[in-house]
A and B are shown apart, each in its own frame.
Chain A
């Protein structure tokens, strides 16, 4: 399997709800990062997982959490949604060894109303 697949592509949630976004990476990509991209801005790093453990986090509160699974899939969970959480959420993965660059998915557009 090639590329990074994210689901769903679009989602509308109500303030206070919880949401789970999913990402399926290429086989062998054991590092996955999540980014939040507000409209008109560059992506902002949320956190990174390596071999199923979080090994780096950006300036996001604990209500943003994640999981990485042995089958190279991962999840981003956001609790107690706020209106400002409305954004494009991007998943990026890379293979181990020599650095070739992260492969990004097309993202999930989350709207909080």
Chain B
């Protein structure tokens, strides 16, 4: 399974943008890049995923490097509610009915200061 590397922790000020990096130099051509986050005392929450092109949704944006060996999750305006552990995960493109286990690393703990 391809591995991801993330900083252990990051800090941000409220209402400022946050860029959470992820390195995945051994990514294969069929691996999707997924981001989940886990707020305190809750299960992980899906944030966004992409393959090659940058992606936007209501929660965040995902910027993927041209060589796909790194990506960045962008929170455009951090709020106190965004304080969580953010996980960058590679998931192979399989038939939807096959095993799609998510391999979580340590993630990045994001602190948001008021």
Contact = CB atoms under 8 A, between A and B. Distances in A.
B34 interface: yes
B110 to A, nearest CB: 15
A45 B101 contact: yes
A48 to B, nearest CB: 5
Number of chain A interface residues as a range? 20 to 34
B29 to A, nearest CB: 17
Contacts of A105: 43
Contact of A33 (B46, B85, B101, B106): B101
Interface string B37-52: 0000111111001000
Nearest to B34: A101
Interface stretch (A12-20, A69-77, A92-100): A92-100
Contact of B97 (A45, A50, A100, A104): A50
Q: Considering residues B32, B41, B44, which has the most beta carbons from chain A within 10 angstroms of its beta carbon?
A: B44
A73 to B, nearest CB: 17
Contact of A99 (B85, B96, B105): B96
B42 A106 contact: yes
Given A42-B104, A101-B49, A48 B99 contact: yes
Given A42-B106, A48-B100, 15 more contacts: A31-B97, A42-B85, A43-B102, A43-B104, A48-B101, A51-B97, A56-B98, A56-B100, A92-B43, A99-B96, A101-B34, A104-B44, A105-B43, A106-B42, A107-B43
30 contacts: A31-B96, A31-B100, A33-B101, A33-B102, A35-B102, A42-B87, A42-B104, A42-B107, A43-B104, A44-B104, A45-B101, A48-B101, A51-B97, A55-B97, A55-B98, A56-B98, A56-B99, A58-B101, A90-B43, A92-B44, A92-B102, A94-B96, A96-B96, A101-B36, A101-B49, A102-B44, A104-B42, A104-B44, A106-B43, A107-B42
Interface of A: 4, 31, 33, 35, 41-45, 48, 50-51, 55-56, 58, 90, 92, 94, 96-107
Interchain residue pairs A-B with the least CB separation, the first 5: A56-B99, A101-B46, A42-B104, A104-B43, A45-B101
